[in-house]
Amino acid sequence: GAGVSQSPSNKVTEKGKDVELRCDPISGHTALYWYRQSLGQGLEFLIYFQGNSAPDKSGLPSDRFSAERTGGSVSTLTIQRTQQEDSAVYLCASSLAGRGLNEQYFGPGTRLTVT
């Protein structure tokens, strides 16, 4: 079946612009996660959605970052007023439920470059 998909695969933006990154999880997966992978910081958790519960936003690095998940499926990560340090690969993952026992399936990522 279809895996986690993300779009765009690459995004180049100018400093100060807003960007939106999209994630389509695997159908039926109730848990959705955003991570980012950067050279300086490795792989970092950003935000987690589980069903209709309030999201865990504890990993968002600043208030310029936000995410929503509409209808329990597609998620959008928005970065406002982008900075050069936001350049990274943004990864989305989904799992059957928000439990550590359930494998998280990762998408291919969106490579964001802020110039």
Partner 1 sequence: GNSVTQMEGPVTLSEEAFLTINCTYTATGYPSLFWYVQYPGEGLQLLLKATKADDKGSNKGFEATYRKETTSFHLEKGSVQVSDSAVYFCALSEGGNKLVFGAGTILRVKS
1 binds partner 1 (CB under 8 A): no
Q: Which is nearer to partner 1, 82 or 98 (CB)?
A: 98
E-assigned strand segments in the chain? 5-7, 10-13, 19-24, 31-38, 42-50, 65-69, 75-79, 88-95, 105-106, 110-114
In the range 39-98, which residues lie near partner 1 by CB under 8 A? 42-45, 48, 50, 56, 59, 91, 93, 98
Question: Which of residues 23, 25, 26, 35 is near partner 1 by CB under 8 A?
Answer: 35
Instruction: Work out the burial of residue 86: count CB atoms within 10 Å of its CB; fewer than 13 is exposed, 13-18 middle, 19 or more buried.
Output: buried
Q: Which is nearer to partner 1, 16 or 51 (CB)?
A: 51
Binding region for partner 1 (CB under 8 A): 31, 33, 35, 42-45, 48, 50, 56, 59, 91, 93, 98-101, 103-109
